């Protein structure tokens, strides 16, 4: 009876061991799906614990009460039909009991129909591109790149790590609460994986394919994740940050973002007739270089031998300026060199080429203007 009481006591204790708010356990999350996944996880966990306790309890009880020192003689039997039926039927019933809630959860996770907001998520080495396609039947007309904003000084241990080290970006994805948000997930280059634990969303981003996922966030807040697929050298520097706002706040943000996009287009157009100073372009160019290029080519411009080429004293930085512009605009197929034509503004593109041609003692003296960038883009369209 002591063993039976101990077993019952352990079974009753299992719910207290769930560690709902512990980092040792799965997160409950902030969506209905994440809560369903958590509850399914706890049900399966408890079933496994009960099975383990019963099996090991009976095993140890049998070992203790049927030991040789008590003079017990082993029973002799072979091919018991009843036992074979029992140890086949019982696991079958248990598996069916586990499969029913699991199937319901999987079906719900894959149902992306009737979405209020559709966002295309594109992974590239090593950033995320978000495009708001439709919102409540209207065109979203907002897109931007989200790049990790943790400073290189933190990464190289020149200053202390921040609270959200490697999990912070310059532009987070913004979505409304209490709305069904559909994500269309793909990639520009290699396989990535868009993962936000609090949403119970983890989908691979495959080049040439589109995977779907969805979330309806119940609580406003900031939720963090990262690329969960080994996607190259800077795999650990590709965070995901999602800010969930109340619907009215999201509506205001979307309108403001659409206006900003229009203003940027107008500003680029106005720059075509302006001549920017070398000092202004070098200052901006350094900022853009550090956020978009330094991970590969290094802040010193020396690159990583055998992996990423140096820009200091390189043929591209010291050669024809138009060839340099074209490489920045269109990248180099088959390499990690991306096309930045759609990622940066005309001013940023002019600044980064100017910076690369004059930094690290390159001293070419070239001052590339936005109009030159526009001409190269227009010439290749």
Given a cut of 90, whether residue 34 has pLDDT beyond it is: yes
Share of the chain above pLDDT 70, in %: 93
Looking at per-residue pLDDT, the higher value among 378 and 130 belongs to: 130
Two tokens, residue 190: 């290699």
Q: How many CB atoms lie within 10 A of CB 245?
A: 18
Residue 203 to residue 196: CA distance in whole angstroms: 9
Given a cut of 50, whether residue 114 has pLDDT beyond it is: yes
The tens digit of pLDDT for each residue in 144-194 reads 999 999 987 888 888 899 899 999 999 999 999 999 999 999 998 899 999
pLDDT-derived band at 10 (thresholds 50, 70, 90) equals low
The tens digit of pLDDT for each residue in 58-98 reads 999 988 888 888 888 877 777 778 888 888 999 999 999 89
Q: What contacts 251, CB < 8 A, 6 or more positions away?
A: 176
Calculate mean pLDDT across residues 321-332.
89
Looking at per-residue pLDDT, the higher value among 165 and 11 belongs to: 165
Cβ atoms 166, 236 nearer than 8 A: yes
Residue 312 to residue 318: CA distance in whole angstroms: 9
Lowest-confidence range among 43-47, 112-116, 211-215?
43-47
Given a cut of 90, whether residue 217 has pLDDT beyond it is: yes
Query: Closest by alpha carbon to 129, among 354, 340, 277, 360?
Result: 340
Query: Closest by alpha carbon to 192, among 225, 166, 167, 163?
Result: 225
pLDDT-derived band at 331 (thresholds 50, 70, 90) equals confident
Given a cut of 90, whether residue 249 has pLDDT beyond it is: yes
Burial of 122 (0-12, 13-18, 19+ CB in 10 A): buried
Looking at per-residue pLDDT, the higher value among 13 and 36 belongs to: 36
What torsion do the CA atoms of 352, 129, 37, 21 make, to the nearest 10 degrees? 30
pLDDT given for residue 155 in this prediction: 86
pLDDT given for residue 291 in this prediction: 81
The tens digit of pLDDT for each residue in 234-248 reads 889 999 999 999 999
pLDDT given for residue 84 in this prediction: 86
Q: How many CB atoms lie within 10 A of CB 325?
A: 21
Mean pLDDT taken over the chain: 88
Cβ atoms 241, 56 nearer than 8 A: no
pLDDT given for residue 130 in this prediction: 97
**What would the 3-class secondary structure string for the chain be?**
CHHHHHHHHHHHHHHHHCCCCCCCCCCCCCEHHHHHHHHHHHHHHHHHHHHHHHHHHHHHHHHHHCCHHHCCCCCCCCCCHHHHHHHHHHHHHHHHHHHHHHHHHHHHHHCCCCCCEEEEEEEECCEEEEEEEEECCEEEEEEEEECECCCHHHHCCCCCCCCCCCCCECCCEEEECCCCEEEEEEECCCCEEEEEHHHCEEEEECECCCEEEEECECCCEEEEEEECCCCCCCHHHCEEEEEEECHHHHHHHHHHHHHHHHHHHHHHHHHCCCCCCHHHHHHHHHHHHHHHCHHHHCCCCCCECCCECCCCCCHHHHCCHHHHHHHHHHCCCCCCCCCCCCCCCHHHHHHHHHHHHHCCCCCCCCCCCHHHHHHHHHHHC
Looking at per-residue pLDDT, the higher value among 16 and 31 belongs to: 31
Calculate mean pLDDT across residues 337-365.
89
Encode burial over 182-202: b for 16+ CB neighbours within 10 A, e otherwise: bbbbbbbbbbbbbbbbbbbbe
Indicate the pTM of the whole model: 0.79
Given a cut of 80, whether residue 16 has pLDDT beyond it is: no
Long-range contacts of 64-69 (CB under 8 A, 24+ apart): 64/3
Calculate mean pLDDT across residues 352-360.
93
Calculate mean pLDDT across residues 246-256.
96
The side-by-side arrangement of strands in the sheet containing 138-146 is 138-146, 127-135, 117-124, 181-187, 211-215
Q: Which residue has the tokens 């969506």?
A: 31
Identify the bridge partners of residue 204 per DSSP, sorted by sequence position: 193
Given a cut of 90, whether residue 267 has pLDDT beyond it is: no
Cβ atoms 39, 25 nearer than 8 A: no
Beta strands at 117-124 and 239-245: parallel, antiparallel or unpaired: unpaired
Given a cut of 80, whether residue 22 has pLDDT beyond it is: no
Q: What contacts 41, CB < 8 A, 6 or more positions away?
A: 26
pLDDT given for residue 381 in this prediction: 42
pLDDT-derived band at 380 (thresholds 50, 70, 90) equals very low
Given a cut of 90, whether residue 142 has pLDDT beyond it is: yes
Given a cut of 60, whether residue 344 has pLDDT beyond it is: yes
Given a cut of 50, whether residue 57 has pLDDT beyond it is: yes
Given a cut of 50, whether residue 18 has pLDDT beyond it is: no
């Amino acid at each position: 009876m002591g063993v039976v009481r101990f077993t019952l006591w352990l079974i009753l204790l299992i719910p207290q061991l769930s560690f709902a708010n512990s980092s040792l356990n799965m997160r409950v999350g902030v969506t209905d799906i994440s809560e369903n996944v958590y509850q399914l996880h706890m049900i399966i966990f408890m079933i496994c614990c009960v099975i383990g306790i019963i099996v090991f309890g009976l095993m140890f009880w049998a070992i203790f009460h049927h030991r040789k020192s008590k003079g017990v003689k082993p029973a002799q039997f072979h091919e018991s039909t009843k036992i074979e039926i029992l140890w086949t039927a019982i696991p079958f019933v248990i598996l069916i009991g586990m499969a029913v809630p699991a199937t319901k959860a999987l079906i719900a996770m894959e149902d992306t129909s009737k979405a209020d907001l559709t966002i295309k998520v594109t992974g590239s080495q090593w950033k995320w591109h978000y495009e708001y396609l439709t919102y409540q039947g209207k065109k979203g007309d907002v897109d931007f790149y989200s790049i990790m904003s943790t400073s290189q000084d933190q990464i190289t241990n020149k200053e202390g790590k921040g609270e959200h080290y490697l999990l912070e970006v310059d532009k987070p994805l913004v979505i409304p609460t209490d709305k069904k948000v559909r994500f269309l997930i793909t990639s520009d280059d290699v396989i990535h994986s868009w993962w936000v634990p609090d949403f119970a969303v983890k989908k691979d981003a495959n080049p040439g394919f589109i995977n779907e996922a969805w979330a309806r966030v119940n609580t406003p807040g900031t939720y963090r994740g990262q690329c969960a697929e080994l996607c190259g050298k800077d795999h650990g520097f590709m965070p995901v940050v999602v800010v969930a706002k109340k619907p009215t706040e999201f509506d205001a943000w979307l309108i403001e973002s659409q206006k900003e996009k229009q203003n940027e287009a107008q500003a680029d157009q106005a720059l075509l007739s302006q001549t920017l100073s070398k000092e202004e372009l070098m200052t901006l160019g350094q900022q853009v270089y550090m956020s978009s290029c330094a991970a590969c080519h290094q802040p010193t411009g020396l690159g990583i031998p055998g992996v990423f080429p140096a820009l200091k004293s390189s043929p591209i930085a010291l050669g024809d300026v138009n060839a340099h512009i074209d490489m920045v605009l269109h990248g180099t197929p088959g390499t990690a060199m991306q096309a930045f034509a759609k990622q940066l503004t005309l001013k940023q593109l002019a600044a980064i080429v100017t910076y690369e041609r004059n930094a690290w003692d390159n001293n070419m003296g070239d001052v590339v203007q936005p109009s030159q960038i526009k001409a190269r883009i227009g010439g290749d369209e």
